[in-house]
Chains A and B, each alone.
Chain A
Amino acid sequence: MFGLEALDLARIQFAFTISFHIIFPAITIGLASYLAVLEGLWLKTKQEVYRDLYHYWLKIFAVNFGMGVVSGIVMAYQFGTNWSGFSEFAGSVTGPLLAYEVLTAFFLEAGFLGVMLFGWNRVGPGLHFFSTVMVAVGTLISTFWILSSNSWMHTPQGYEIVNDVVIPVDWFAIVFNPSFPYRLLHMATAAYLATAFFVGAAAAWHLLRGRNTPPVRKMLSMAMWMALIVAPIQAVIGDFHGLNTLEHQPAKIAAMEGHWENTPGEATPLILFGWPDMEREETRFKVEIPYLGSLILQHSLTEPVPALKEFAPEDRPNSTIVFWTFRTMVAMGLLMILCGLWSLVLRLKGKLFTSRPFLTMAMWMGPSGIIAILAGWFTTEIGRQPWVIYNVMRTADAVTPHSATQLSVTLAMFVVIYFAVFGVGFAYVMRLVRKGPVVHEGKEKGAGGPGEKRTPMRPLSAADEDMHENKGDELGERN
């Protein structure tokens, strides 16, 4: 297919299925914590707006969680079907970490998710709040395990190789490998920001349509506080993550910067834009700022940044791609910071909920967090190439030797089915978002739990909205 080799196709297939999958867990992580905060504020202040918002986002959380489970089934098998060389070589490390991730997720599903989704009027407020907090903590524990597993592939340690197979020696060293703390913090914060901008966009959409209600205003306000405070923090975390990468994976940094060559004693400029050309070994059409590269990465005006030509051609990641995915991520981050600052100015002027240009921007920023997450993962994963386990195993040795035909057929099927199935799921989420918060929801007792039609074994059942638009239920008529 398009002259691609089997290895490329296997990578594209894995990238496609995991990119689709990651969107759901990212929003799940963010919404779970958001719901915990909302419920905490409701219990503390007894302002109904928090309870209404809780019930609004709970349904969206449930549908999102359900789609995460469905798309996750495929992931549990793809390591074996597509990367059998890797699974056989390093399964002794990755397998247990993945098993812990799965077990944590199911533990959640079996226990606290049920109380959270269906127990509002069946258990005491304290226990319900505890369940919500546990679900939020649980999503973070799942994140912990899967990112530990991934980080170990970037910065492996705590193992030895016996008979061509990885043997774990020190689990503590494996789990807390050098890049793990930065990656975990960066990803968890990214999930929070992605959710904040999703929530903010929902609020902006309603405000632009004249639904200026207390819950909608509260949503926007909370989302923009997050943007204002957390987006700059994320930039700092990202900087630390970058320094960690510089220490452990210098080739990735060189590729991200499109930086090919150092002249001794000269500081590295920062290339703003350009086209890194892998064949010609240079970045064409570049626009650069002197000294800035050294300043950002080395925090110095003299120390150069590693350059791509210091690495053998077969050890270089594809700079053309990661140069641009990295800039996409940074651009999203800068837009988020800008959005946060603008919101502060408008808030001080009392125009936060009425400025149409701002609300339009907030609405269009809805997918910014998701785009940033995908671009960031593309950067770090493609930047690790040609290694699957950095400096230990090459991706070419990890791949299952399927034929290109076989992979093309399954890839095409994945694309068609994922877009059809998750497209409908996404449309349903949007339908729930458009419906908006309902005042006094959750006052009456709703059925649910084991033995009821609505149960945590089917998270989607928590959302009881039909897929079609009812005329009488048009927006604006509810409140």
Chain B
Amino acid sequence: MGVDLSLIWAVIIIFGLMMYVVMDGFDLGIGILFPFVQEEGKRDVMMNTAAPIWDGNETWLVLGGAGLFAAFPLAYSVVLPALYLPIIFMLMGLIFRGVAFELRFKATQLKRHIWDKSFIGGSLCATFFQGVALGAFISGMPVEDRRFAGGALDWLTPFSLFCGVALIVAYALLGCTWLIMKTDGELQERMRKLGKPLVLLVLLMIGIVSIWTPLTHPDIADRWFTTPNLFLFMPVPVLVLLCTFFLLRSIRSEAHYTPFLLTLGLIFLGYSGLGISLWPNIIPPSVTIWEAAAPPESQGFALVGALLIIPIILVYTAWSYYVFRGKVTADDGYH
């Protein structure tokens, strides 16, 4: 067969995870920024900017898990055990936060602060362990006899913990610029003030990760610093710097939409840097998508459903965001 099913599935899963990072990223970011905004009314507005869509955002995470299981069962059965604890912690954070999101609106004034704390704690926990899982994934995992051959705490390294912190900062920036776009008045002003240090912090994080990664991962260093790759990858750091520059300028010039779009650009660049470092491995450092692939009978069977239904989900998602465009103010109460 001339069609490379593994390649198609890899694209679908990478796309799904990208959708997840972008969409759940900003609403996790809102939870991370909650401690910086104490007034209840403003917190209501913050939540209302994400309220109509957050649950839909998490569907991409489930789709990613199911897609990985269907198309690359070997990766599913090696990566998940290797990252067992961070993934379980992340899922628990997401559950807590999801329910807090809903029940906060329905709680009495007296109990609302409990749900606020759950929301903050859940968002931080989910984001941190997502970052830890990502860092441990980049670092790679030993595979023997088609099984994960490492230890229970292999994921616990300074590098992965740092990635956890870095992701918190990145999602906070996504949330911050999302709120600049979706709110006005005093809340927007406060987000602008937070914006500048957050951008610089994100740049610092990207810088540290970019130096740390090749230092501790010789195979990735090889990829980066040999010709012709070196020249092909050169645009990424340059674009990151350009992006940051325009991002800072757009926040200063009180633009509404541009900061969020540029943050998306920054996230996308980080994501592509990750792709460059790992492709075509699905279990770093050495198992490729083709080696981890399910038989074509399985990939083809599942692809029929995915190609039918994913476009419908995309159209509906786009429509929901489109209808929901514009600013959210304190008048748009939940009830």
Contacts and interface: CB of A to CB of B under 8 A. Distances in A.
B81 interface: yes
A106 interface: yes
Interface in A383-442: 400, 402-403, 406, 410, 413-414, 417, 421, 424-425, 428
Interface string B109-126: 001000000000000000
A461 B334 CA distance: 9
A85 B73 CA distance: 10
A450 B62 CA distance: 22
Nearest to A74: B91
A428 B103 contact: yes
Contacts of B81: 80-81, 84, 400, 402
Given A73-B62, A85-B147, A88-B147, A110 B302 contact: no
Contacts, number: 220
B136 to A, nearest CB: 14
A84 B147 contact: yes
B316 A111 contact: yes
Given A100-B302, A167-B295, A85 B316 contact: no
Contacts of A400: 81, 84, 148
B58 A73 contact: yes
B51 to A, nearest CB: 6
Given A80-B80, A107-B309, A99 B69 contact: yes
Interface of A: 66, 69-74, 76-77, 79-81, 84-88, 90-96, 98-104, 106-107, 109-111, 165, 167-169, 171, 400, 402-403, 406, 410, 413-414, 417, 421, 424-425, 428, 449-453, 455, 457-461, 464-468
Nearest to B325: A451
Contacts of A459: 55
B19 to A, nearest CB: 12
Given A69-B55, A167-B295, A466 B73 contact: no
Which of B53, B298, B332, B334 has the largest count of A CB atoms less than 10 A from its CB?
B298
A462 B52 CA distance: 11
Contacts of B229: none
B106 A428 contact: yes
Contacts of A169: 297
Contacts of B138: none
Contacts of A94: 69
A72 B95 CA distance: 10
Contacts of A453: 48, 51-52, 332, 334-335
Given A81-B81, A98-B69, A103-B305, A455 B52 contact: yes
Contacts of B317: 110
A450 B324 contact: yes
Contacts of B302: 95-96, 99-100
B103 A417 contact: no
B84 A402 contact: yes
A81 B80 contact: yes
Contact of B152 (A74, A77, A84, A403): A403
B9 to A, nearest CB: 10
Contacts of B316: 110-111, 450
Contacts of A104: 309
B98 interface: yes
A421 B99 contact: yes
B52 to A, nearest CB: 4
B323 interface: yes
A144 to B, nearest CB: 13
B239 interface: no
13 contacts: A69-B55, A71-B95, A73-B91, A84-B78, A87-B73, A88-B147, A98-B69, A99-B66, A103-B310, A107-B309, A110-B317, A400-B81, A461-B51
Nearest to B323: A451
Given A66-B102, A457-B52, A467-B107, A77 B305 contact: no
A95 to B, nearest CB: 4
A6 B111 CA distance: 39
Given A91-B77, A402-B84, 16 more contacts: A76-B62, A76-B66, A84-B78, A88-B78, A95-B66, A95-B302, A100-B302, A168-B301, A402-B152, A406-B84, A417-B96, A451-B323, A453-B334, A453-B335, A455-B320, A467-B111
B243 interface: no
Contacts of A425: 99, 103
